[in-house]
Structure 1
Amino acid sequence: MLKLFQMLIISLSFFVSNVFAALELELTQGVDNAIPIVILPFAGQEIISANDNKITTIVGNDLKNSGRFRLVDVGSQQMDGANFEAWRARKVEAVVTGQIKSIGGEQYSVIFRLFDVYNKNKLFEKEYKIKAQQLRKFAHHVSDVIYQQLTGDRGIFSTKIAYVLVERRGRAVRYRLQIADSDGYNMHILLSSRFPLMSPAWSPDGKKIAYVSFEGHRAAIYIQDIATGQREVLTKFPGINGAPAWSPDGSKIALVLTQTGYPKIYILDLATKKMERLTSDWSLDTEPNWAPDGKSLIFTSDRGGSPQIYRVYVDNKKVERITFNGSYNARAAFTPNGNAIVMLHQAGDMFSIALEDLKSGRVSLLTHSGLNESPSIAPNGKMVVYGTNTNGRGMLAEVSADGRVKLLLPAGEGEVREPAWSPF
């Protein structure tokens, strides 16, 4: 129990900051069967963007950093996207082409095409009308289309990541809740405070974020509208108000309160404000996460003597233990299909990101070094973002759900923690 209590205190007080600036994703390990793809320069793209902000540059970085694609460089050679025989000779499997032209009124017409080289056909073609300030958003959309067309899985390039940042200026400390594109660009501050912030959690529709703030030196859970900035206090009871987690339908929030003296899992109905306690006895229960069907939650508890993952069913409050491998498992979250959980797992003196298959109980380590924390899984289930400590410095990193693709997201000054991946 003491160990879990210490873990709770650490999670409530460990804030580090980082200027997320423009994240540069570093591919440290990729897959063997990456799809070779050519992205030809879009004709006319220089009229809307600089070299480092071209549509083709953004799309190329997206695909490369997914680990699922290998960019083939054709240099300055001019080639037709539909010249399938020439591309096959270069062992290219897919080609992207496009063109951009101004249509007045600060608008641009963009035509984007995707060719399947081996099947000798055009997989996708569509014309879009965009403004210059929508370029990055559009480029991420193009990446999503390519990713889904060629892998069958939905892309996550248009999703967002929320995180907590701490800026230190001498003795002054400033906490910020920020949101950025999944590649680190288009960062904006949702909230800036001199009080600690933690545990950001997205609503299922991606329009709001729940989080914990210690304003007035007292923990409270807030909900904030991303578009308007309007926020409201959800709970502000004496003691712990922590770990908010939205239900899949967005009608309820699971949270941790100490109304009985021990941290317990509660469910709050957002419409009626009715509160229901899910867990009981003398254990310390924390970090709830909903199953995709909304019928149960997983949480961390020391009721078995060490921090482990348990499941509680909403209808009858029956509790069952999920993890048995290792003496420390925490911060678990369901994969989108509900077949597995991603969690923080102690392996020797390391805290690793791990995945457990719920049917077989098999645990796979996704990371094998460092001190890691706060895993958050992408909405397509293919990647996990987490906090990691490298040489005494907090950073964000990503790892694929099979552990084969690893990305390091270096930051600027300071450190970033508590990442939360948005829904689609």
Structure 2
Amino acid sequence: MKVRHSFAALLACAALPAFGQLSIEITGAGANRIPISIADFAGERIVSQALTSVVRGDLERSGWFRLVEPGGLATMEPNAGNIADLKSRGADAYVAGAVSPVGQGGDGGRFESRFRLFDVPKQASLGGQTYAHGSNQLRTTAHRISDFVYEKLTGEPGVFSTRIAYVVKSTGRFELQVADADGMNAQAALASREPIISPSWSPDGTKLAYVSFEAKKPVVYVHDLASGRRHVAANFKGSNSAPAWSPDGKRLAVVLTKDGSSQLYTLNVDGSGVTRLASSSGIDTEPQFSPDGQWIYFTSDRGGSPQIYRVSAAGGNAERVTFEGSYNVTPRLSPDGRNMAYVSRYNGRFQLTLMDIATKQSQILTDTAKDESPSFAPNGRTILYASEVNGRGVLGTVSIDGRIKQKLSVQAADVREPAWGPQLK
């Protein structure tokens, strides 16, 4: 991302209301979506409808499910006649539940949400859960229900309860926002008149490292999301950029120019223990640790054109990873370490590409032309990335087979620099 703007200093550094919510548009769905019927949850109308709508929205937007009308059915104990009706409607799965107040209920009160999931063809229960929660945790509870259903029916962990970070740019203003994975509940972690780039989640999901230009130069900060407090992790002579967390959360890989050109270093999260990883006559940038912490993948033009390399996390000689094409940048490893997402140039188009690390086989996942900043979902099934459509920055998601696509945008603003947060235990 090229920075061309120079404005006044930092505006704010607390949890502020975001000035734009992400809107999500489904642009492609899975070939074999699971037909699922989700009954209206029983209970107080406004509360139960809110929870039901979030669950339906989660599952439908995932691209893995096709919603089937329940036909007024709402029971958590369907009988043979109910099952026959669901079969006739084409449903393979059925979800029903209820929300009940605990104590006084209402605003600020406590609720209990329970649900059951059924396999319609087998006429068998696939389990259920009961969650106690406050009225302000309704969306969180709905996401947990969606995660349960998704995992039972696909065999993969759901990611509806996770969060994403991204930067929204409007005239003279940049905001680092954190939102639910569905784009809702956005909050500004940082607002500034100067650019904010390269947000990176800590492994425990409590902190973001990022680069801010508020000091009129790129400086790496580590920001605690709960308290809003932050500290400088790298502010050396020259540029400080591209922070990436080690899997244990104790160190950051960064790019510094303090000794000349852009080179790779690691340092402790508090800024101490600076160690240079490698030396090259070119530019080394965009580091990311492998999930096992053994390697750091990065972009370098040391061979004449931008390609992806890796070096031991302890330092040493680098080895080249990409050989196909003359431009491959921004390596991002899947959580299981099997795949690498990156951006390649094909016929003048910059497109999101996926490589199987074992076989070195790669495939283009997108049909856009200005992709950047890929970030894997915690289950490794989806990639979040930034692109440009009609001159405006938008986010996109695409499944690793390229079939399921979404576009995420904010009205009248650019959205860039996405990062998908971890799965919280």
The answer to whether TM tops 0.5 is: yes
Q: In structure 1, what is the equivalent of residue 15 of structure 2?
A: none
* Residue 160 of structure 2 corresponds to residue 157 of structure 1: yes
- Length-normalised TM-score, structure 2: 0.91
State the Cα deviation string for residues 215-253 of structure 1 (Å, max 9, x = none).
Answer: 220221100100000100111111110000000010110
- Is this contact kept in 2: 1:81–1:95, CA < 8 A? no
Instruction: Give distance in 1, aligned partners of 2:153 and 2:19.
Output: 30
**Which amino acid is 1:345 matched to?**
S
Instruction: Give distance in 2, aligned partners of 1:316 and 1:161.
Output: 31
Instruction: Give distance in 1, aligned partners of 2:52 and 2:74.
Output: 15
Instruction: Give distance in 1, aligned partners of 2:96 and 2:385.
Output: 34
Q: In structure 1, what is the equivalent of residue 57 of structure 2?
A: 61
**Which amino acid is 1:61 matched to?**
G
Instruction: Name the SS of the counterpart of 2:368 in structure 1.
Output: coil
**1:260 Cα deviation after fit:** 2.0
Instruction: Give distance in 1, aligned partners of 2:338 and 2:410.
Output: 33
State the Cα deviation string for residues 252-287 of structure 1 (Å, max 9, x = none).
Answer: 100000122110010113368211111202110000
Correspondence list, 1:17-32, <5 A: 21-32=20-31
**1:78 Cα deviation after fit:** 5.9
Structure 1 runs not aligned, ≥5 long:
1-9
State the Cα deviation string for residues 342-391 of structure 1 (Å, max 9, x = none).
Answer: 00111112110010111211111000223111111111111111111111
- Is this contact kept in 2: 1:20–1:416, CA < 8 A? no
Instruction: Give distance in 1, aligned partners of 2:347 and 2:46.
Output: 55
**1:45 Cα deviation after fit:** 4.5
Q: In structure 1, what is the equivalent of residue 90 of structure 2?
A: 91
Distance 1:11 1:142, change over 3 A: farther
* Residue 139 of structure 2 corresponds to residue 130 of structure 1: no
State the Cα deviation string for residues 87-125 of structure 1 (Å, max 9, x = none).
Answer: 223321110000122222311221111111122221122
Distance 1:14 1:342, change over 3 A: farther
Q: In structure 2, what is the equivalent of residue 115 of structure 1?
A: 118
State the Cα deviation string for residues 294-349 of structure 1 (Å, max 9, x = none).
Answer: 01010000011110100111235121100011111111100111112000111112
Residue range with higher mean Cα deviation, 100-109 or 28-37? 100-109
Distance 1:14 1:278, change over 3 A: farther
Q: Which fold has the larger relative contact order, with Cα–Cα distance below 8 Å and residues 6 or more apart in sequence? A: 1
* Residue 260 of structure 2 corresponds to residue 261 of structure 1: yes
Instruction: Give distance in 1, aligned partners of 2:270 and 2:26.
Output: 44
**Which amino acid is 1:70 matched to?**
R
Q: In structure 2, what is the equivalent of residue 236 of structure 1?
A: 235
**Which amino acid is 1:74 matched to?**
P
Instruction: Give distance in 2, aligned partners of 1:179 and 1:78.
Output: 35
- Is this contact kept in 1: 2:201–2:208, CA < 8 A? yes
Instruction: Name the SS of the counterpart of 1:119 in structure 2.
Output: coil
Instruction: Name the SS of the counterpart of 1:367 in structure 2.
Output: coil
Residue range with higher mean Cα deviation, 318-327 or 72-81? 72-81
Instruction: Give distance in 2, aligned partners of 1:12 and 1:379.
Output: 30
**Which amino acid is 1:209 matched to?**
L
- Is this contact kept in 2: 1:342–1:355, CA < 8 A? yes
Structure 2 runs not aligned, ≥5 long:
7-17
Q: In structure 1, what is the equivalent of residue 43 of structure 2?
A: 44
Instruction: Give distance in 1, aligned partners of 2:395 and 2:138.
Output: 25
Q: In structure 1, what is the equivalent of residue 181 of structure 2?
A: 182
Distance 1:347 1:45, change over 3 A: farther
- Percent sequence identity over aligned pairs: 43
- Length-normalised TM-score, structure 1: 0.91
- Is this contact kept in 1: 2:387–2:395, CA < 8 A? yes
**Which amino acid is 1:46 matched to?**
R
Instruction: Give distance in 1, aligned partners of 2:258 and 2:271.
Output: 20
State which of 144, 148, 151 in structure 1 corresponds to 2:147.
144
- Is this contact kept in 2: 1:311–1:320, CA < 8 A? yes
**Which amino acid is 1:314 matched to?**
A
Instruction: Give distance in 2, aligned partners of 1:199 and 1:226.
Output: 16
Distance 1:325 1:78, change over 3 A: same
Instruction: Give distance in 1, aligned partners of 2:83 and 2:154.
Output: 20
- Is this contact kept in 1: 2:22–2:408, CA < 8 A? yes
Residue range with higher mean Cα deviation, 132-141 or 67-76? 67-76
RMSD (CA atoms): 1.8
Residue range with higher mean Cα deviation, 307-316 or 321-330? 307-316
Q: In structure 1, what is the equivalent of residue 10 of structure 2?
A: none
Residue range with higher mean Cα deviation, 314-323 or 72-81? 72-81
Q: In structure 2, what is the equivalent of residue 318 of structure 1?
A: 317
